A and B are shown apart, each in its own frame.
Chain A
Amino acid sequence: DTAVSQTPKYLVTQMGNDKSIKCEQNLGHDTMYWYKQDSKKFLKIMFSYNNKELIINETVPNRFSPKSPDKAHLNLHINSLELGDSAVYFCASSPSGSPQYTQYFGPGTRLTVL
């Protein structure tokens, strides 16, 4: 069974479109995260949610809006996509928001904006 899953794995879209990436974890964790990995493999946190409540919101454009319908799901919606949004987006989860708990990552969603 996949612990942290993301859909879709690949997403190719035009500039200006709106798209969503879904994430689900079956580990019973309370905290979920979204990270962005650029072409140089640099990983940077975007958001974290603890039990459906937003905990971390880095300086991410307002076009990015996370939504957590329940603690097992954290979706990422992106409005008005731009070329610079092209990256691999990773969802992760951990038992709590403390960094001393291991974060488990999903397989990633490669977003390409044309």
Chain B
Amino acid sequence: GESVGLHLPTLSVQEGDNSIINCAYSNSASDYFIWYKQESGKGPQFIIDIRSNMDKRQGQRVTVLLNKTVKHLSLQIAATQPGDSAVYFCAESGRGGKLIFGQGTELSVKP
């Protein structure tokens, strides 16, 4: 079946360090992937996306890498700040256009 999984449920980093959040997906036919950030008590917020014809995409302080060979996705956050503390979800496009979300990784930034 379709599934998206994360390697680590929690990640703690020092303020100013870079963060890397990983995600594995199972559907090799997926052609669109998204990262969402969910702060406590709020809904998920779009961060960055990538299509399957790309292997890297950069945004402001964030980079998403896609490795289709091993079906792996990662989100890199540069110079992590306290405001980056949240749960991060990867999601892939599934049958019928629905998004399939991974478990989520909780990022904690230490001052």
A-side residues, CB < 8 A to B, are 4, 40-45, 48, 55-56, 58, 90, 92, 97-100, 102-108
Q: Are B44 and A105 in contact (CB under 8 A)?
A: yes
- On chain B, the number of residues with a Cβ less than 8 Å from chain A's Cβ atoms is 25
Q: Give the secondary structure class of A's interface.
A: loop
**In the complex, number of A-B residue pairs with CB atoms less than 8 Å apart:** 59
Q: Which residues of A contact B51 (CB under 8 A)?
A: 100
Q: Are B93 and A43 in contact (CB under 8 A)?
A: no
In-complex Cβ contact of A108 among B43, B100, B101, B104 (8 A)? B43
Is B42 an interface residue, CB under 8 A from the partner? yes
B-side residues, CB < 8 A to A, are 32, 34, 36, 38, 41-46, 49, 51, 87, 89, 93-94, 96-101, 103-104, 106
In-complex Cβ contact of B101 among A43, A56, A100 (8 A)? A43
Alpha-carbon gap, A99 to B99, bound state (A): 7
